């Protein structure tokens, strides 16, 4: 095998070099050609080495085997370091953003709950003297508890029926007020919500 047949320009060695697919092929080349090359050139290849840049095997007349990475390996390692660092930074930033979002959501949730509690307290204070309306309010609170505790359907629907009976009586016997409407809306929305989730 003539070396000129598989000469390629090696970017790592910065000159043309014979390239072999496998170490065995490179070693076979040395074995069968070294005397002829030595006669002609005065020196001959003595060992094969892997080249990352060419992704194959070269032969060299230099005996010393330095266990150092070639240029391509150094560049790849540098790229990986940089790339990993960059990726890590981005991941850290994303995590921080997510934490920030969660904190904001929690705060918002807390504010909403506080406002809801405040509104509920005000409503309770207003209907304190209206016995039937207060009873209906307490029934709605009871339904809330049943839903929260995942009580079985039958009991929960019975509680709804009871609440709507109370509401019917109130609407028949009292003149309409905003508070009655608020409580009716509350009951309706809980009922609609419960039905949609039960399906």
Footprint on this chain of Zn ion (rule: CB under 5 A):
10, 12, 51, 53-54
**In angstroms, what is the minimal distance from the CB of 15 to Zn ion?**
9
Minimum distance of Zn ion from residue 33's CB (angstroms): 19
* Shortest reach from residue 53's CB to Zn ion, in Å: 5
CB atoms within 10 A of CB 187: 20
Cβ pair 137, 167 in contact under 8 A: no
Q: Which is nearer to Zn ion, 27 or 182 (CB)?
A: 27
Please name every residue paired with 157 in a beta bridge, in sequence order, or none if there are none.
none
Q: Among residues 60 and 177, whose Cβ is nearest to Zn ion?
A: 60
Shortest reach from residue 57's CB to Zn ion, in Å: 9
Give the span between the Cα atoms of 52 and 11, in whole angstroms: 10
Q: Is the CB of 50 or the CB of 162 nearer to Zn ion? A: 50
- Which residue in this structure is represented by tokens 């109130």? 170
Task: For residues 198 and 28, give the distance between their C-alpha atoms in angstroms, rounded to a whole number.
Answer: 77
Question: Please, which residue, 70 or 180, has the CB nearer to Zn ion?
Answer: 70
> Three-state DSSP class for 107?
helix
The residue (of 53 and 151) whose beta carbon lies closer to Zn ion is 53
Nearest to 156 by CA among 144, 166, 165: 144
Rounded least distance, CB 79 to Zn ion, Å: 18
Strands 15-18 and 7-10: antiparallel
CA distances from 146 to 32, 133, 155, 156, 183 (A): 90, 20, 8, 6, 18
């Amino acid at each position: 095998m003539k070396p000129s047949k598989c000469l390629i320009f090696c970017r790592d060695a910065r000159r043309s070099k014979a390239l072999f697919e496998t170490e065995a092929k490179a070693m076979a080349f040395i074995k069968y050609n070294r005397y002829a090359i030595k006669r002609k050139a005065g020196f001959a290849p003595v060992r094969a080495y892997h080249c990352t840049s060419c992704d194959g095997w070269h032969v060299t007349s230099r005996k010393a085997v330095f266990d150092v990475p070639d240029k391509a390996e150094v560049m790849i390692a540098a790229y990986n370091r940089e790339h990993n660092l960059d990726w890590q930074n981005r991941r850290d930033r994303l995590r921080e953003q997510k934490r920030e979002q969660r904190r904001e959501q929690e705060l918002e949730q807390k504010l909403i709950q506080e406002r809801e509690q405040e509104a509920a307290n005000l409503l309770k204070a207003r209907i304190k003297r209206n016995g039937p309306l207060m009873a209906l309010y307490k029934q709605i609170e009871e339904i809330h508890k049943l839903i929260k505790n995942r009580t079985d359907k039958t009991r929960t629907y019975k509680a709804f029926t009871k609440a709507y009976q109370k509401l019917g009586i109130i609407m028949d016997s009292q003149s309409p007020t905003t508070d009655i409407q608020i409580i009716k809306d509350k009951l309706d929305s809980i009922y609609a919500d419960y039905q949609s989730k039960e399906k």
